Structure 1
Amino acid sequence: MKRFYRLFILCSIVLLIGVQSARASGPKILLEEEGFDFGTAKQGKEVIHEFKFKNTGDADLVITDLRTSCGCTAAVTSDKTIPPKKQGTIKVTFNTGGRSGPQTKTVTIVSNDPEKPNAEVRLTGKVDLGDQPQVQVDPMTLDIGVVEPGGSTTDEITITNTGTADLVIEEYVGRSGVSAGGDDPGRKKTIKPEESIKVKVVAAPENRSGIFQGYLQVKNNSTQRIVTVPVFGYVSNKYMLKPEYQTKVREN
């Protein structure tokens, strides 16, 4: 009976070793680091870091996909197939444009590792705005009043840079007969911090009566890339009295 128990225990040990060996076989990813703190980066700069890993298994490790947590992060691998005992790298690039404050970006490494098919690495840090231009437009809307059919009117807006870096006015885009007037409105203009420029706004509605609605867009290099100034008024018909005549009729 004792011999039977000894034989049973011996077989169990052999079986357990076999199971553990089977589990240990195959590809196995081992990350040198799972996270990297890039500290503080200025907005607009790229943060680049390479995560190293090793295939500690006994079969080829195949990277089938790299999934990033947002479109601002990209990842590429040095090789898609890593032989046993060899190393590879995952290059992660984080574009800080339009980001500010604390940031955490992750990359999921999808592979044929049976125990860890979805390994994850992460970038953490803070994005500092630094010196930035800020755009302010006054007024934010324009009322052109009553305009005769086929006529036009001109008003004015003031664009001020309330930031700490140069503000570049890149382009003016108008709709429904609205445009930027003045000298060479298509030319880029640079506004220093705490300085302003005045821009003429020309409204030339279509030759039809009724309510007029258009806008002028100010495209610039601040975080508020496009500022839209609504322009509205009324186009009279040919039988409609001008405003000053309407006033005289009421007085009489």
Structure 2
Amino acid sequence: MTTTATATAPSRREAVEHGTARLDGVASGTARQAAFRSQIRATRSIEDGKEFVTLDGYASVTDINYKMWDWYGEYDERIAAGAFDKTLAADPDVAYLLNHTGMTMARTVTGTLQLSADEKGLRTIAKLNAKRVDVSDLIIAVEDENVTEMSFAFRIVAGQWSPDYMEYTITEVDLDRGDVSAVNYGANPYTSISARAQQALEAIDHLDGAPLRAARDRAAARLEHAEQSAPAAPAEERKAGRDKATELALLSLDD
């Protein structure tokens, strides 16, 4: 669905002009989980009498748009080529997981996970111990093609909006203490805030009368409470970052 701006939900352009959204993009440090289709290849080997399985795939594809949501509605986001260069040069501590949870299967600091950036995106080569039950289950799922996609968890360091504020390009990410994961589905990579915002907006479209007025009043109350409880930011900070009250209100929408 497409959400249009209203008087109570200003456009991104208006927000930037009034200093309540970043001039250069999403707030630095914002967490993301982005998922992409990836042909994961499994190769078995024996080393020193031990069986290992190497999984080779791409946790991210660069310069491909995917849908995101924020307070102002839907927009396109993409990860620029070169976004991984600085973080990879810093030897980040990154884990290989399944669906971003569970015990670490491989890790960059132990040499069992190798990350590199090429013309396609973020390539991952993970060397897994085949004796582990969770590894065995994952390999079976990959070989059966029941798990065919990958995702990675990261933090945004820098980015830039397009002139019409409908496309956001991430130009630098931080992978340290994040993860790359084989995932069940490469769904649109909404953050928890974005997903809840989308759900709330879709629900509003099906309300009328008293329920709609109640939703309006509750949202207004949340915003007022967040504005009163958030510390006042200096003028230069308000211009540099998204309004904290808006973020707090979004977090509370489904409470």
**TM-score, shorter chain, exceeding 0.5:** no
TM-score band, normalised by shorter chain: under 0.3
Q: Which has the larger strand fraction?
A: 1
TM-score by length of 2: 0.27
RCO greater where, 1 or 2, for CA within 8 Å and sep 6 or more?
2
TM-score by length of 1: 0.27
Larger radius of gyration: 1
